[in-house]
A and B are shown apart, each in its own frame.
Chain A
Amino acid sequence: MSLKREIAFVLNGVRTRATVPVEMSALAMLREVVGLTGTKYACGEGECGACTIIVDGLSTCSCLMFAVDCEDRDLTTIEGLARDPLGEKLERAFVECGAVQCGFCTPGIVVQAKHWLEAHPHPTRAEIQRGIEGNLCRCTGYVKIVDAIEMASRNDA
């Protein structure tokens, strides 16, 4: 029904093309057009962080971004962190520290943590808490999430 546009961007290191309705969000594009479902919808209005991705080095709520605005940009999603040393370290730390319960918030928080740790490699716990304040988790009470990010920030992890 709606107007569509073809766009090109880099997704997790791979040059990608997609045809998207102009009103579609980047979140919907990732999930429905590209088929990467690790990025989650939990509010659609920038309040929960479940849809966090990294766009040109900045963590972004993909629900608030138009798909067409991905044109020529570099996107990293949770799926792209599997081959990233820090991302991989974070994922392992989340598992080992018990930071995952239902897991719905987890991909968004892992992506946010990866982005944030790069700028703050030696954080205190309080700083980590601030670093993920835009991500909601209903299950864990955040303690073990902070543990995990702290663990991943240590060189020996």
Chain B
Amino acid sequence: MKVIEKDTLIGKRIAKLDAPEKASGKTRYVHDLDLPGQLYGRILRSTRVHARIRRIDVSKARALPGVHAVLTAADVPYQRPLGVGKDQLPLKGDKVRSRRDEIAAVAADSEEIAAAALALIEVEYEDLPPLTDPAEALKPGAPVIHDENLPPPAAHEALKPGAPGDAEAHRHNVAMTFDYAQGDVAVGEAESDIVVDDWFRLHYVTHCCMGVSGIIAEFGPSGNLTLYSNTQVPFLHKREFAEILGMDPGRIRIIQPPIGGGFGSKLDIYPFEPICVFLAKATDRPVKLVFSREEEFVASPTRQPVLLRLRSGAKKDGTLTFRTCETLHDNGAYTSWGATTPFVMMQTISSLYRVPHCKYHTTAVYTNNPYAGSFRGYGNLQATFAVEQHMDKLAAALGLDPLEMRLKNAQDPGETTPQGMQFKTCGLKDCLTTAAAASHWREKHHAAIAAQKTPGRLKRGVGMASMLHVGGGAKIYPSDGCGTILKIDDFAHLTLMTGASEIGQGSETVLAQLVCEELGLPLDAVTVVNNDTDITPWDVGVHASRTTFIGGNSAIGAARKAKTKILAAAAKLTGLPEVELELRGGHIVRAATGEALMSLAKLLRSLHFSDKAELVMTTNYYEPPSHHQDKEFKGDVSAAYAWATQVVEVEVDTETGVVRLVKVTAAHDVGRVLNRLGIEGQIEGGIVMGQGYAITEELIVEDGVVRNPGFRDYKLVTAPEIPEMDIHFIETMDGEGPQGAKGVGEAPAICMAAATANAICNATGVRIYELPFTPEKVYRALHRAKAPGGTG
């Protein structure tokens, strides 16, 4: 008798399915694809930050041999506004509002010819007064960035929370506003024994995906459009392309080749994408348009720069009383997702800890700067930077231990916050105590305070920060669902067609794992198809750390349906009741003993080649049990929430201002670990991305011009600079999560800047409210603090 023991894939260290081909250089990214007859597209961008276009002369470019098309706004009268704010046309005809603005595009036989053609295009500008300081944007008499009458936006079903400003708002350079309140902050303030009030300044950083942006557009003989695109939201994209191009969405197919990094950058539609389609249409040839790295720095989105004022109060015993938060978001010239980060920011303000009274306001203003998109963490890095510094500051002012202060105000499972978020599982307290214990936080914290006044060039310190983030999707659109189609062939090989895109985060592997777990199959029995809108069912997209949770539940549902079918058939064949049967190791087994009764492949064939011939194919659509927020931004927007605490240990060189990250101890409530290898990788990568945000990275934008569009001057963290990492998982087994898991993709980047700020303060006694902590900034802050009358 062959016995198959029960085994599980959950929690194991599982190599990514796509890793072998990536490690051997065989993976074809969009940059590596070429279609027969393909032309090369290039875009001419504005050389001014704010100007009227007086004249564009493309005649010389058109005359260049090898040039197939030169397009300006005048050549595409059918173009429609795009993006979250619908406040820009792909090709700008009247006016440019930032240095990235697209003025003309060329399709040519080669990149070189396309570049040569761009150089032949003559543009005459009439400069307008530039507006590059967001604070100036609201002043009366400020230049108006959007004074145009854009064609009316086409009907758009996606809910536009914190709806984009209308023409009247644009007159005042207001792109969006957000207001949220709970309780009465005046009451909270009256109850406070201590109030702290500070301004925080958050800078520009950008995604720096190693694979630059690119797209290939091709029209087929029947006029159908195929796009090879790196988008993270293929189905929303399809719809948007249809609107912009005035096409039937059914005639648009999006194929997603593997992507060289996403991190939120590919969540909106950007002008280069429809421009490439215009070129393909004009030439009736496939057109490939790929950015240079410099172009990627200049013309892809940034993280949202924010000026933030936070007022927080507490009672003597450390109980939080109120918070007011006002932010000024520099929207840049156009509105993308960056303007909507208040959604997430207000959750941290209102619900990371229990705060009875809260008030939140954001104004996002137009300037002539680059515009911000979504970026891993989505506003939460900025909000957490302020909130967690205030937790330390309040604790210090009250003479309390910062850990105790946090534990006192931390959320518990079962709580519903005034904003309406329901924490069915919540591991915050465990995260706090685990990270503190593992990092020896208490001893180090006190030792550092004692050492602050002692002489010595190198100062060590520890700082902690916690975070709350959606971990079960986010109901921003009418549906937050994901579809799955599953088929099993005659040889028990399974094809999983899922709407959930793989962007390097490892979702493909986790989904395969979840399905195999249900069906008792080895991982190599699965092919995942996740990259073609003509095949895969709808999904809202890769954002909000949702893919494992939503795509996972969808896949599990489809697998369970298949299992039911299989077991019913097996029961008939074996004469045993279904409950006594199980699927293990590719076999039907007796549940109690593990005795293998028949191979799954054999069962499937007998089902297929019977007189009632049947194949096992199932479909499932999973919609999480979350809710849209109401007009006041209240509602349980996610099916689960993720928590984390990170403790950062730094060494500050007080003579140079250099901050070295020594160690990061991270405790994350991830619901449950599905793939240990994958989740560690997500967290390590997030920590280092957070380290870059805190210490090394800054996109320097001066007078609307990006001054450091290259890796030479935009400093990414390199291998020798990473801290030691000690990662702990808090498994709260979320009831709604797939096998108990919650989303984790964004979480690890969120706490780093805040924890680093607290660590620097612990080491030196000096608190810095502005990022990044470059040597110069830290040095100046330390010296200001030492100078008579200086503030810290």
Report if A and B associate in a common complex. yes
From A90, A126, A138, A145, residue with most partner B Cβ within 10 Å: A138
List A residues 10-41 near B (Cβ within 8 Å): 21, 31, 36-41
In the complex, residue of chain B having the shortest beta-carbon distance to the beta carbon of A131: B719
* Interface status of A96 (Cβ within 8 A of chain B): yes
Would B720 and A130 count as touching, CB distance under 8 A?
yes
The yes or no answer to A70 lying at the interface (CB within 8 A) is no
B52 within 8 Å of A (CB atoms): no
CB distance from B243 to the nearest CB of A (A): 29
Q: Within 8 Å of chain A (Cβ to Cβ): is B625? A: no
CB contacts (< 8 Å) of B188 on chain A: these are: none
The chain B residue sitting closest to A137, CB to CB, is B210
Q: Residue B261 at the A interface, CB < 8 A?
A: yes
* B23 interface neighbour in A40, A103, A142, Cβ under 8 Å: A103
State the interface size on chain A (CB cutoff 8 A).
Answer: 59
Distance of B507 from chain A, by nearest CB (Å) = 11
Task: Contact check, A94 vs B210: say whether CB atoms are below 8 A apart.
Answer: no
* Complex contact A40–B504 (CB within 8 A): no
Question: B724-739 interface mask toward A, CB cutoff 8 Å, 1 = contact, 0 = none?
Answer: 0100000000000000
Knowing A31-B32, A82-B24, A138-B263, the reply to whether A105 touches B210 (Cβ < 8 A) is yes
Q: Which of B705-751 contact A (CB under 8 A)?
A: 710-712, 716, 718-720, 722, 725
The CA-CA distance from A143 to B683 in the complex, in Å, is 10
Cβ–Cβ contact A106 & B23, under 8 A: yes
Digit string of B561-574 for contact with A (CB within 8 Å is 1, else 0)? Answer: 00000000000000
Q: How far is the CA of A137 from the CA of B504 in the complex (A)?
A: 12
A48 within 8 A of B: yes
Q: Interface SS of chain A: helix, strand, loop or mixed?
A: loop
B119 within 8 A of A: no
CB A90 to nearest CB in B, in angstroms, measures: 8
Quick one: CB contact mask for A51-79 with B, threshold 8 Å, 1 for yes? 00000000000000000000000000111
Of chain A, the residue at the smallest CB distance from B675 is A98
User: Is the Cβ of B684 less than 8 Å from the Cβ of A144?
Assistant: yes
The distance in angstroms between the C-alpha atoms of A56 and B482, with both chains bound, is 51
Report the separation of the CA atoms of residues A31 and B27 in the bound assembly, to the nearest whole angstrom. Answer: 13
Tell me whether A135 and B719 are in contact (CB under 8 A).
Answer: yes
Say yes or no: is B258 at the interface (Cβ < 8 Å to chain A).
yes
Q: Mark B26-38, 1 if CB is under 8 A from A, else 0.
A: 1111011000000
Query: How far does the alpha carbon of A141 sit from the alpha carbon of B722 in the complex, in Å?
Result: 7
**How many Å lie between the Cα of A141 and that of B25 in the bound state?**
20
Neighbour of B725 across the interface among A44, A79, A107, A141, CB < 8 A:
A141
CB of B211 within 8 A of CB of A78, answer: no
CB-CB under 8 A from B263, the residues of chain A are 138
Q: With A101-B504, A138-B716 as given contacts, are A1 and B24 in contact (CB-CB < 8 Å)?
A: no
Contact status B23-A101, CB under 8 Å? no
B259 touches A102 (CB 8 A): yes
Number of B residues, CB within 8 Å of A: 57
A54 CA / B718 CA spacing, docked (Å): 21
A139-B720 in contact (CB<8A): no
* Distance in Å: Cβ of A128 to nearest Cβ of chain B: 8
Residues from 247 to 304 in B contacting A, C-beta threshold 8 Å: 258-263, 292-293
Instruction: Check B504 against A103 for contact (C-beta < 8 Å).
Output: yes
Query: How far does the alpha carbon of A107 sit from the alpha carbon of B263 in the complex, in Å?
Result: 21
Query: Are A1 and B13 CB-contacts (below 8 A) given A37-B32, A82-B24, A133-B719?
Result: no
Q: Kindly list chain A residues whose C-beta atoms are within 8 Å of the C-beta of B210.
A: 40, 42, 48, 50, 102, 104-105, 136-139
Check A47/B211 contact, CB under 8 A, given A41-B31, A103-B504.
Answer: no
In the complex, the number of residue pairs spanning A and B with C-beta atoms less than 8 Å apart equals: 182
Task: Tell me, in angstroms, the Cα distance from A104 to B27 when the chains sit together.
Answer: 9
Task: Give B483-513 interface residues, CB cut-off 8 Å to A.
Answer: 503-506
**Is B383 positioned at the interface, with any CB of A under 8 Å from its CB?**
no
B685 at the A interface (CB under 8 A): yes
In the complex, which of the residues B23, B31, B116, B686 contacts A91, with contact meaning CB atoms closer than 8 Å?
A: B23
Residues of A within 8 A of B687 (CB): 141
Interface residues of B in 208-243 (CB under 8 A from A): 208-212
Asked whether A140 is an interface residue with its Cβ less than 8 Å from the other chain, the reply is: yes
Is there contact, CB below 8 Å, between A141 and B23?
no
Contacts of A94 in B (CB 8 A): 19, 23
Contacting A140 at CB < 8 Å: which of B209, B259, B685? B685
Asked whether any CB of chain A lies closer than 8 Å to the CB of B688, the reply is yes
- By the criterion CB–CB under 8 Å, are A106 and B22 in contact? yes
Contact (Cβ within 8 A) A129 B720: yes
Q: Considering the complex, give the chain A residue whose CB is closest to the CB of B25.
A: A38
Q: Which of A77, A96, A102 contacts B260 (CB 8 A)?
A: A102
* 8 nearest A-B residue pairs (beta carbon): A38-B25, A103-B22, A102-B504, A78-B25, A104-B260, A141-B684, A141-B688, A47-B711
Given pairs A37-B25, A143-B681, 17 additional interface contacts (CB within 8 A): A36-B25, A40-B211, A42-B260, A78-B25, A92-B23, A98-B13, A98-B15, A100-B16, A101-B16, A101-B505, A102-B262, A104-B29, A129-B719, A130-B720, A139-B685, A140-B685, A142-B688
Interfacial residues, chain B to chain A (CB-CB below 8 A)? 13, 15-16, 18-20, 22-29, 31-32, 66, 112-113, 116, 207-212, 258-263, 292-293, 503-506, 677-678, 680-681, 684-689, 710-712, 716, 718-720, 722, 725
CB<8 Å pairs between A and B, sample of 27: A1-B113, A38-B26, A42-B210, A43-B710, A45-B293, A45-B711, A47-B710, A50-B210, A91-B23, A95-B15, A98-B15, A98-B678, A98-B680, A102-B262, A106-B25, A130-B720, A133-B720, A135-B718, A136-B711, A137-B210, A137-B719, A138-B208, A138-B210, A140-B681, A141-B687, A144-B677, A144-B680
